[in-house]
Amino acid sequence: MARLSVNINKIATLRNTRQGNIPNVKLAAINCEEFGAEGITVHPRPDERHIRYSDVRDLKPIITTEFNIEGYPGRSFLDLVLEVLPDQVTLVPDAHDAITSNAGWDTIAHRGLLTDIVSELKAAGIRVSLFVGAEVKMIEGASLIGADRIELYTEPYATAYPFNPDLAISSFLLAARAAEDLKLGVNAGHDLSLQNLRFFNQSIPNLLEVSIGHALISDALYLGLELTILKYKECLR
């Protein structure tokens, strides 16, 4: 069964619209775990417009499942990760002003940069995942770089799913098979939802983990956080 890691960035986004600490990011993480989440994901950006570096430091001691930190591997981000030592770091190629992740790594063009960074993080005992599109050559590049896992960028799947699920999943299935052949673990994330997650999970037999934030937190506004997490976990059975 694939694990559900809840991205709590949106909790911090709401908090940051006002002074104070409502909603409480630490309490949100605790509740997600109590309600069944098997991991907590955060994606701090340099402008700290949602998760702050101080949040990352505060969260580490209280997380009892898996702590996954996503981000572009600039020096300040890497220093934070090496200080906090999460279970997993997911490297993404976001520009500093990106609203959200919108592409995977070109693991061929950035092989030199990423090889050194992945080596540094793995030497600290951190599992490293690279955010990539569903292209076999990019997954082969991730293997050459030395990553432990890939995280498949699933927005193209989510966009195409309502029109033709089988076509939408086809490239992701090929990508997952390539990763398995290369002994890479497979994670997935971006625009996965209650509408499309079950089919994705049933179609990708070697899926280890999904990281979901925007859709899950949005659903929680209507359903409540506990019921929402239970529904997402049902999709992963």
Mean pLDDT of the chain: 96
pLDDT digits (tens, 9 = 90+) for 96-108: 555 556 689 999 9
Average pLDDT over residues 180-198: 98
Cα 192 to Cα 58: distance, rounded to the nearest angstrom: 28
Look up 96 and say whether it is catalytic: no
For the chain, the maximum distance between any two Cα atoms, rounded to a whole number of angstroms, is: 50
Query: Which residue, 198, 94, 187, is CA-closest to 149?
Result: 187
Average pLDDT over residues 35-40: 98
Please report, for the domain that includes residue 226, its CATH number: 3.20.20.70
Q: Identify whether the C-beta of residue 46 lies closer than 8 Å to the C-beta of residue 79.
A: no
Query: Would you say residue 166 has pLDDT above 60?
Result: yes
pTM (2 decimals)?
0.94
- Catalytic entry in 33, 66, 151, 190: 190
**How many other C-beta atoms are found inside a 10 Å radius of the C-beta of residue 94?**
19
pLDDT digits (tens, 9 = 90+) for 203-231: 999 999 999 999 999 999 999 999 999 99
pLDDT of the residue at 95 = 66
> In sequence order, what DSSP letters do the residues of 121-157 get, joined into one string?
HHHTT-EEEEEE-S-HHHHHHHHHHT-SEEEEE-HHH
Phi, psi of 43 (to 5 degrees): -135, 80
Q: At what angle do helices 136-145 and 111-123 cross, to 10 degrees?
A: 50
Look up 110 and say whether it is catalytic: no
- Catalytic entry in 38, 70, 151, 209: 70
pLDDT of the residue at 94 = 76
Domains identified in the chain, total number: 1
- Catalytic entry in 33, 38, 43, 66: 43
Domain that holds residue 151: 3-235
pLDDT of the residue at 101 = 61
In the block, tokens 């770091």 appear at 89
pLDDT of the residue at 31 = 98
Look up 43 and say whether it is catalytic: yes
pLDDT of the residue at 44 = 96
Query: Would you say residue 11 has pLDDT above 70?
Result: yes
